[in-house]
Amino acid sequence: MPSSEDARIRFATPADVPNILGLIRELAEYERLLDQVVADEAALQRALFGERPFVEALVSIVGDETVGFALFFHNFSTFLGKPGMYLEDLYVRPAFRGQGLGKALLTEVGRIAVNRNCGRMEWSVLDWNEPSIRFYESLGAKPLSDWTTYRLTGDALQSLGRSEP
């Protein structure tokens, strides 16, 4: 098997969409959330490369195989008055873990955030995912214990979006 020294990281291109979607499904299976994946190639293509892209992605390539990805987008901190970077997903195939590929992807997202003058970089991790928690903390990341994440989806989001103020 090629080593991580043979790996390269680059921005995703439209040709990478099928591989990224496959990695998203692998990640969802690992997180026990595969039943929630409804994205398809067309939706991912629009989100990454459409008229108004909403997200960006990096891919990690070893040989000619896409073995990992990082998907991220900008948010904004009103307190800092600066953009931030939100890392939606970071995933490396199990056979390639422990070789520094996840750290390389995260480092590249961090480099992009610094180059774009972002004031912070954030992401979420499932509370049972101890390997990822240890990895992030080894890099100096700190969990935010004073914030609770809320989410509106499906009918609740549709109802809110259609209601009168």
- Any idea which residues carry the catalytic annotation? 136
Q: Which helix (H) or strand (E) holds 11?
A: strand 7-11
Measured in degrees and rounded to the nearest 5, phi and psi for residue 63 equal 65, -120
Q: Edge-to-edge strands of the sheet including 121-123?
A: 7-11, 56-62, 65-77, 82-92, 121-123
CA–CA distances in Å: residue 120 to residues 70, 74, 76, 92: 17, 10, 9, 23
Which candidate, 3, 8, 4, 1, places its Cα nearest to that of 61?
8
Q: Residue type for 38, please?
A: V
